[in-house]
Amino acid sequence: MVQTATLIDEVKKIFTAFLEKKNLRKTPERFAILEEIYSKQGHFDVESLYVSMKEKNYRVSRATVYNSLDLLVECDLVTKHQFGQNQAQYEKAYGYRQHDHLICTDCNKVVEFCDPRIQNIQNTVGKLLDFEVIHHSLILYGNCIKPDCENKKESK
């Protein structure tokens, strides 16, 4: 990824347009949260996002984090997942390839994968049931079969 700076600018522009369209205020908190998210790799939950902003001495409340995440999900800049039972997981969604998740039942590690055939399923099922399918969530659960798999060691 060569143009990280450009990506963030692009994302900010999208968010700005979204806020204007919905007549919402462009508060510094909202953009700070957006920046923090796009500077991170992988999945994160509300608490870790909140903590990492606190560590940077940015004054935010959990309520604002939740509120901003909802907005970012609404304008498709962030995706929300419900992997475990509790604690939703989020990840940035823009400028990143569409993908699904494989979760190791031994250690709860999340691995990403792509398979274009899911698109076909989505189309077929939508047509069959008269639904316009907007997005999907596919999670595979399994365990690594390599005997030396690092997953065997760490256990959430």
62 binds, among a second copy, DNA, none (CB under 5 to 8 A by kind): DNA
Q: Which stretch binds DNA (CB under 7 A): 18-26, 92-100, 123-131, 135-143?
A: 18-26
Give the x-and-dash track for 26-45 against DNA (CB under 7 A). Answer: xxxxx--------------x
Closest approach of Cβ 49 to DNA, in Å?
10
Read off φ and ψ for residue 37, nearest 5 degrees.
-65, -45
What secondary structure letter does DSSP report for 151? G
Instruction: By CB under 8 A, tell whether 66 contacts a second copy.
Output: no
Residue 63 or 128: the one with the smaller Cβ distance to a second copy is 128
Interface of this chain with DNA, residues 129 to 148, rule: CB under 7 A: none
The dihedral built from the CA positions of residue 51, 45, 66 and 6, taken in this order, carries a sign that is positive
Measured distance CA(50)–CA(4) in Å, rounded: 23
Closest approach of Cβ 124 to a second copy, in Å?
7
Q: In terms of C-beta density within 10 A (0-12 exposed, 13-18 middle, 19 or more buried), how is residue 31 classed? A: middle
Out of 46, 73, 75, 88, the only residue in the binding site for a second copy (CB under 8 A) is 88
Between the CA atoms of 133, 22, 5 and 36, what dihedral angle is there, to the nearest 10 degrees? Answer: -90
- In angstroms, the Cα distances linking 33 to 74, 129, 153 are 15, 39, 34
Out of 17, 24, 51, 139, the only residue in the binding site for a second copy (CB under 8 A) is 139
Closest approach of Cβ 135 to a second copy, in Å?
5
Interface of this chain with DNA, residues 105 to 134, rule: CB under 7 A: none
